[in-house]
Amino acid sequence: MCIDRIQPQRLAAYFISLCEIDSPGKKEGKVALYLRQFFSQFPGINIAEDSSGLHTGSDTGNLIITIPGNRPEATPLFFNCHMDVVTPCLGVEVDCTDGVFTSKGDTVLGGDDKGGIAILMELTHILMENDLSFPLVQLIFTTGEEIGLLGAKALDFDLIQAEYGFALDSTGVDNCIIGAPAAVYIHAVITGRAAHAGLNPEDGLNAIALCSEVISSLPLGRISKDTTANIGLIEGGTATNIIPEAVHVKGEIRSHNPDTLVRTITMFKAAFVDISSRHGGRAEVAFPPQYPAMLVSEDSPVVQCVQRAEGVLNRKLEFIVAGGGSDANIFNARGLPTVILGIGMANVHSTAEKIALKDMTRTLEMAVCIVTS
């Protein structure tokens, strides 16, 4: 089995180097340069950058790495990771204690998703340095995933030769996410009337009070087994002595069920508009789409590929319908069946983020087996 050719310490070194490169959303250029330099050492590998930066505002486009393979009859496949990291992510210093990576300071670690990128770097070493049989493999490194799947939405799909793929971008290990919800943003402005809070408060209409009543009327959190909603940002008011005229509200709704999503949007819009108007104010509400739902059938070739690797490795994977969105939602919507593999990261999007080398290695073993079996 070729997994015995994995070099965990080399994997660890790549991971640390990646984490210590600053790459907040729209500033992924340094990671892209690092990856260009890495892949350029292998003869025959093609490195392409699309023009998505013109649309996303990133300082780099998406990178598409093509490893030709030597089985032209086999179905070409891809792996995907994103290059951006949530804040606070500047000046990351990595600590490794007993094989577990954490941030030394008050930043995130960046294992989401640099753990996945490091895995693909080591996978490339294994494919290029050993006499293995494998199909054409593409590695798709996107920008702006954490701030709206921007790179995936702007990806030049004409550069993609693969027919299905695997996103290395989830918590846990030995799991395969086959379903994820659709999501829409909530963008609302509630308008009341400004007035001096001490001289003539009766002439005012407090937009913050209106907002409070609206939000109190809404079901938030887990609305049903397939739908969630959240109000995450509220901004309004100008001074303590002025009754606030306007409040800006941002949130989201997610659902696996398209009919439930429509009903929830209708309910939320009615709450904002009706409650505001009842008190003499007004509300403008929009629900821009974030990403579509995904659900990959168990008889899909991409799931069967995972199941074959599962059998070869004598493992039992958990196939999951999850609650988060990722680049995989976009790939599926564009006709590229994609599942998400857990890479072992935990406490993501927090300064307590961590990932174990043994879990990254375990996911790498799965990736090697997927490509070579």
| Cα 65 to Cα 55: distance, rounded to the nearest angstrom | 21
Whether cis (ω within 30° of 0) applies to the bond prior to 88 is yes
Is residue 235 part of the annotated active site? The answer reads: no
With b for 16 or more beta-carbon neighbours within 10 A and e for fewer, the 304-343 pattern comes to ebbeebbebbeeebebbebbbbbbbbbbbbeebbbbbbbb
Is 180 strand, coil or helix?
strand
Pairing of strands 354-356, 175-180: unpaired
β-pairing, 77-82 vs 137-142, is: parallel
Closest C-alpha among 194, 213, 212 to residue 204: 194
95 annotated active-site: no
The amino acid that residue 154 corresponds to is A
Whole-angstrom Cα distance, residue 363 to residue 172? 10
Cα 255 from chain centre: 17
- Are 336 and 160 in contact by the 8 Å Cβ rule? The answer is yes
Q: 3-class DSSP state for residue 251?
A: strand
CB burial of 39-59 (b: ≥16 within 10 Å; e: otherwise) equals beeeeebebebbebbeebebe
Q: Which of 28, 112, 122, 145 is catalytic?
A: 145
Q: Of 139, 127, 44, 164, which Cα lies nearest the Cα of 372?
A: 127
- Confirm if 45 and 39 have CB atoms less than 8 A apart: yes
CA torsion, points 253, 149, 176, 137, in degrees to nearest 10? 160
Residue of 84, 113, 245, 310 with catalytic role: 84
What is the C-alpha to C-alpha distance for residues 91 and 89, in angstroms, rounded to an integer? 7
Q: How many CB atoms lie within 10 A of CB 258?
A: 12
Tell me the catalytic residues. Answer: 84, 145
